[in-house]
Amino acid sequence: MIVRNVKEPMVDINAGYKWISDTFEEAEKCSLSEIKLFKTEMLAMPVAKRSGYRELVAQKLCWQNENGLYDKIKAMWIPPKPR
């Protein structure tokens, strides 16, 4: 049973993936499952209502997502899911 290494049952995904990779054996990783506690929201940038930057910021955020820049930054900050 996997319970031997679990000290904190709920951990943040960012910290959890690294911890799982370092702690668990390959066979144990296969039997784990992930439970979403909260729905993750889309990326947002607060801008004043009548600001001239509102449309520009929206366009650039879409451009970053379409060109893979958002995924590249996300991969740099969030460790990958253990396999």
pLDDT over 90 percentage in the chain? 7
Q: Residues 3-12: contacts with CB within 8 Å, 24+ apart?
A: 10/37
Which pLDDT does position 34 carry in this prediction? Answer: 73
Mean pLDDT of 4-12: 55
Q: How high is the mean pLDDT of the chain?
A: 76
pLDDT for res 12: 64
pLDDT of 63: 93
The mean pLDDT value for 74-80 works out to 79
Q: Give the number of residues written for the chain.
A: 83
The DSSP annotation for 45-67 comes to ----TT-TTHHHHHHHHHHHHHT
59 pLDDT exceeds 80?
yes
* pLDDT single digits (tens) 23-58: 888 888 887 777 776 666 666 678 888 888 988 988
